[in-house]
Structure 1
Amino acid sequence: MRIAFLVAPEGVEEIELTDPWKAVLDAGWEARLVSTEPGTVQAYDHLDKAGTHPVDDVLDSSAPSAGDFDALVLPGGVANPDALRVNEEAVAFTRGFFEAGKPVAAICHAPWTLVEADVLRGRTLTSWPSVATDIRNAGGTWVDEEVRVCRQAPATLVTSRKPDDLEAFCKAFVDVFGG
């Protein structure tokens, strides 16, 4: 299985990238870092710079689509999904997984990208609490739960609230992706 991790060039929460990445590798799958620019992405530990990570695939007119992957992981960080949701290629890439019926996992602030992709109508999900109103305004139902799996067609969505939920988040999305 090939799993896409979509992140902006700067602002992804380090642990929300690295823990799910490890879970994918531990499951025996291929993880690919997809971004809107080539080179490396700058991760953060809250507001402090953390590690950098090499980009595998760049979103542009000739680059990957949902058809190239089996599932999508959207890590959080405040700046990360805020940058992605104003990038047309990132929004289209994300929407493509839902249109293709492929599973998606999003944690913390990452549902902002899902709001912009207009894929939350009728879905129940969780996130960082400050994203709740955006989810409701996009037609979703927000719940305060460690992890939420929404199996509404066409694509299953796994969500969690924060880094403290990472163990449950990783277990849930690995179970869903493994099918």
Structure 2
Amino acid sequence: MRIAFLIAPEGVEQVELTEPWQAAVDAGHEPVLVSTAPGTVQAFDHLDKADTFPVQAVVGETSADSFGALVLPGGVANPDFLRTDEKAVAFVRDFAERGRPVAAICHAAWTLVEADVVRGRVLTSWPSLRTDIRNAGGTWVDERVRVCDHGPGKLVTSRRPDDLKAFCETFLDVFARESEKAA
């Protein structure tokens, strides 16, 4: 399955990109780095610059039709930038409207809020987003990983880097089950 990893040109928490990416590769999937601009993206280790990664597709030049699922890595700056980019928000909303599974960790739930896909759904995130999620009509829970089955498409959310193992295992399981249903 082709899996879009949507990140901003700067500000993604590196471990929240690299661990899910590697988990997808190890499971036989094809991860594709999608961003709002061509070139490379700058990852961070908390507030320190980390590695750069090449962009493989640009939002606005691709669509959810090209992918079986979407992963939204966190970092504070990454989703804050994405939620102000209309094409990035539309890209996320497109996955939900098509019923394709979406996985988001940490602050990435901000992009889900902006895409208006949390209303009536139960999810988790970095704790500081709980009010944003509630104000957007969602229900916030403090859990390592949460799968929301109601609403368009499955939504897998997680709180923080410490939860990455559970996050990766869960989204891979959900993506595999959803792929089997679609086949």
Look up the equivalent residue of 2:10 and give its one-letter code. Answer: E
Question: Which residue matches 1:12?
Answer: 12
Structure 1: how far apart are the matches of 2:129 and 2:52?
26
Question: Which residue matches 1:23?
Answer: 23
Q: What is the correspondence of 1:16-55 to structure 2 with a 5 Å cutoff?
A: 16-55=16-55
Q: Which of 156, 159, 162 lines up with 1:158 in the alignment? A: 156
Q: Contact 2:121–2:151 (CA<8 Å) still a contact in 1?
A: no
Q: Give per-residue Cα distances to partners, 1:148-171, cap 9 Å, x unaligned.
A: 000113210000000000000000
SS in 2 for 1:121: coil
Q: Which of 118, 129, 133 lines up with 1:120 in the alignment? A: 118
Return the TM-score normalized by structure 1: 0.98
Structure 2: how far apart are the matches of 1:33 and 1:58?
9
User: 1:59 deviation in Å?
Assistant: 1.4
SS in 1 for 2:107: coil
Whether 1:176 and 2:167 are equivalent positions in the alignment is no
Identity %: 72
Question: Which residue matches 2:181?
Answer: none
Structure 1: how far apart are the matches of 2:24 and 2:130?
28
Whether 1:66 and 2:64 are equivalent positions in the alignment is yes
Question: Which residue matches 1:137?
Answer: 135
Structure 2: how far apart are the matches of 1:141 and 1:71?
23
Return the TM-score normalized by structure 2: 0.96
Q: Give per-residue Cα distances to partners, 1:82-119, cap 9 Å, x unaligned.
A: 00000000000000000000000000000000000001
Structure 1 segments, 4+ long, off by >4 Å, are none
Structure 1: how far apart are the matches of 2:152 and 2:8?
26
Whether 1:111 and 2:101 are equivalent positions in the alignment is no
User: Structure 2, unaligned stretches of length 5 or more?
Assistant: 178-183
Whether 1:90 and 2:88 are equivalent positions in the alignment is yes
Q: Contact 2:38–2:58 (CA<8 Å) still a contact in 1?
A: yes
Question: Which residue matches 2:165?
Answer: 167
Q: Give per-residue Cα distances to partners, 1:33-81, cap 9 Å, x unaligned.
A: 0000100000000000001000000113xx1111110000000000000
User: Structure 1, unaligned stretches of length 5 or more?
Assistant: none
Structure 1: how far apart are the matches of 2:96 and 2:113?
13
